[in-house]
Amino acid sequence: MEERMGEQGAAGDGHGGVPGALETLDRQECLRLIAPGGVGRVAFDDQGGPVILPVNYVLHEGTVIFRTAVGGPFDAGLRTGVEGVEFKIAFEVDQLDAAASEGWSVLVRGGVHHVSDPEELAAAQATGVQPWAGGDRTLYVRISADEITGRRVHGGR
């Protein structure tokens, strides 16, 4: 399925985009694109309303894993208090080349789980993921990839 990209560029870049083709990506291509890990953004509602925070992440066995601080926004804002019940959140990664009007964006939606089981924690630690903000961030968080969607834009130059 292809759509046409409009004249508007990325928010805040000050440049209009050149029309290009927008391609829908399948789940396997989305996973391939985010597999190397890197920096993504997690979106969820906390006590103050919607929030989007950057994280370093790894893709491990089909789930997204990142590290954060105990007592921080991910810890406090993403606990339901009910065993086995998880909040559903969004995780987004993109790679854009504004000059070439090309790039891709992948959105993962799924339940968020604070890793505490010793075996699961050892596996999360073995991924080597580092916290985005640095420091003593000992809480590992896992997002199940219940829904994965993506788009690629091909430049119109």
pLDDT tens readout for residues 35-75: 999 999 999 988 788 999 999 999 999 999 999 988 888 88
In eight-state DSSP terms, residue 145 is -
pLDDT band of residue 156 (cuts 50, 70, 90) is low
User: pLDDT of 98-126, one tens digit each?
Assistant: 888 899 999 999 999 999 899 999 999 99
Q: Where are the beta strands (DSSP E) in the chain?
A: 2-4, 21-25, 38-46, 49-60, 63-68, 88-97, 102-114, 139-144, 147-154
**How many CB atoms lie under 10 A from the CB of residue 101?**
20
**How many CB atoms lie under 10 A from the CB of residue 50?**
8
Q: Which two tokens stand for residue 31?
A: 């996973």
The secondary element (H helix, E strand) that includes residue 30 is helix 27-34
- Please give the pLDDT value at position 133: 85
pTM for this predicted structure = 0.81
Which whole-number Å values give the CA distances from 71 to 74, 78, 101, 137, 138, in the listed order?
8, 11, 40, 10, 10
Scanning 43-136, the segments in alpha helix (DSSP H) are 73-77, 118-126
Delimit the domains of the chain by residue range: 2-154
pLDDT > 60? residue 5: no
Residue range 2-154 forms a domain whose CATH class is mainly beta
pLDDT > 70? residue 6: no
